[in-house]
Amino acid sequence: MTERPIKRRLRLRPIFNSLAVNAVILVVIFVACPTIVYFELRAASREKTELLIQSIQEQGRLIAVALSPSLRRFGGGQLPDLQKQLSEMVSGSTKVKVLFRPKAPATPAGFFYVASEPAVSAAYLDDEREHLVRTGIFNELENSCAGNRTLATRYTNPAGQWEILSSLVAVPTDAGCWFVLTSIGGDDAVGMAIGQPYWKNPEAKFAIVIYLIMAVLVLSLFFGIWRNLHGFARLAKAIGDNSRDRGISFRDLNQVPELTSVASEFDRMVDRVAASADAIHSAAEENAHAFKTPIAAIAQSLEPLKRSVPQADERGQRALQLIEKATERLDTLVNAARQMDEAIADLIRPPRDPVEFSRLLGRMLDAYGEAARLAMKRIRGDIAQNVVVAGSEDMFEIIVENLLDNALSFAPPGSEITVTLTREDDTANLEVADRGPGVESDNLERIFERYFSYHGTTSQPGGVDPNAGHFGMGLWIARRNVESIGGTIQARNRARGGLRVIVLLPIHT
């Protein structure tokens, strides 16, 4: 019962370990969280503003009530001195202005300032009246002097500062109409979300800047690591393809100090792998030379023995033939072993040099033509020109040699072996086809396995047919070389008998 949850967790774990997935989740969080917080803060700011406006409006009403006796006693003539009373009632960022409108025909220009707290110059009051006229708050008061009017209007005063007009209280008298206008100025007015979006408030702007800085730092760290890892991946692929610039290392690509030790270890590992490939190549050549020297000595020593053993001595002649065949087979095995070691080394560090495959293949077909004629067989080539592939000449020579040797060994006398080279987009297509016995369908993949030898209807996975000259290594070596440079190789039976070996190679770019 517990296996399913465990398997489900195992499937989900790689997803949540992905930097890209975590980066997307982080971006969603960075977008969702501030959005939610923004709306919550905006609602709280509106509630705070409403409470402050209500407080100022109530203060304006109380001031108007306190001033009413003095205002109602005015019947024309000398205006009452209200400045002293206002200075005693008003404090903080609250501003109060007392205006008077005579009973003459009412127009916006008919409103006159009588007092202000804090006190300002007469010129300032005239400018402010013009500003207030433009806001339109006097329009509804031109023909009325009744009741109170609550305001929540933002405007810029003549000094260039924000003010919030909070209330306008009317006090009717026989001489005209008095108005007590209250407003909020200074920092309280700047911080209110009235007449503008909440994000324009200083506190919201500050929070947004801090949040954006934090988001940029976190995302920069995330994408810096992601970019570094992708740079490592590209360099690793270039190293695997043997196409990197020798002067570039993981340490050079690294831009995150915490990954310096990782990059250094990668560089050391690459150096060790390259040294191992060079060592395998050197060992393959040295071992082949060490074995071939005594083999050559044995082969040369056979010549005088052949002359000294009489033709009538059947046992002696038979022994010499066995020694000669065994020497030839031993030489073939040494060559195959060298090619196997070189193929393994090329898997570690495959070459990626441009090779004009058309010319190389044509030259090899000319060389094999004579051997085919001696065996009463023909080789016909159909080679597209200017096909350039990525690898090395030695590697492609080994591939072609093993394919031609395999085709010649199975093709019957008088038959034709066709070799075709074409190009399709970024791929070179090489095909070697013979009219031999073909291969059973179950063994079409197995013929590329190491030490698998197939002779007509007889297959010997682990052994060697002493009369066939096949050791089950030629096609295996060809496949290793092809795959080491990013190509593919496969075998198909021909419709009227025979075998087709198809090789796809990457074009050099």
Residue-level pLDDT at 413: 92
Split the chain (509 residues) into runs of 10 and give each run's mean pLDDT. Answer: 50 60 78 80 77 76 82 66 78 81 68 82 81 72 63 76 79 82 67 61 79 84 82 77 68 81 85 79 78 82 83 84 84 77 71 89 92 91 93 89 91 93 93 92 88 58 43 82 89 92 91
- DSSP code string of 230-288: HHHHHHHHHHHTT-S-TT--HHHH---GGGHHHHHHHHHHHHHHHHHHHHHHHHHHHHH
Quickly tell me which residue has 């995150």 as its tokens: 256
Residue-level pLDDT at 351: 76
At 381, list the tokens. 């080539």
Three-class SS state of 136: coil
Q: What is the enclosing helix (H) or strand (E) of 423?
A: strand 416-424
One-letter amino acid at 395 equals M
Alpha helices (H) in 309-450, listed in sequence order: 314-348, 357-374, 393-410
At 445, list the tokens. 């993949």
**What CATH number should be reported for the domain whose range is 49-199?**
3.30.450
Residue-level pLDDT at 195: 53
Ordered by start, the domain boundaries in the chain are 49-199, 351-509
> Taking the CA of residue 89 as centre, how many other CA atoms within 13 Å lie in the half-sphere pointing to its CB?
24
Residue-level pLDDT at 399: 92
At 415, list the tokens. 């038959």
Does the pTM of the predicted model rise above 0.95? no
* Closest by CA position to 159, among listed 128, 133, 198, 189: 128
Residues whose CB is less than 8 angstroms from the CB of residue 56 and which lie 6 or more positions away in sequence, other chains included: 94, 166, 167, 182, 183, 184
Beta strands 378-383 and 416-424, pairing class: parallel
Q: What is the enclosing helix (H) or strand (E) of 61?
A: helix 19-72
Number of alpha helices (DSSP H) and beta strands (DSSP E) in the chain? 12, 14
| Buried/exposed 220-246: b ≥16 CB within 10 Å, e otherwise | eebeebeebeebbeebeeebbbbebee
Residue-level pLDDT at 244: 60
| Buried/exposed 173-209: b ≥16 CB within 10 Å, e otherwise | bebbbbbbbbbbbeebbbbbbbeeebeebeebeebee
* Closest by CA position to 404, among listed 363, 364, 444, 456: 364
Q: What is the enclosing helix (H) or strand (E) of 96?
A: strand 94-102
Give the bridge partners for 355, in sequence order: 389
Whole-Å CA distances, 366 to 52, 153, 369, 376, 380: 101, 98, 5, 15, 10
Residues whose CB is less than 8 angstroms from the CB of residue 408 and which lie 6 or more positions away in sequence, other chains included: 368, 371, 372, 375, 377, 417, 434
Lateral strand order in the sheet of 416-424 = 378-383, 416-424, 427-433, 499-506, 488-493
Q: How far apart are CA 365 and CA 356, in angstroms?
A: 15
| Buried/exposed 298-317: b ≥16 CB within 10 Å, e otherwise | ebeeeeeeeeeeeeeeeeee
Residue-level pLDDT at 193: 54
Structural domain 351-509, CATH architecture: 2-Layer Sandwich (3.30)
CATH topology identical between 49-199 and 351-509: no
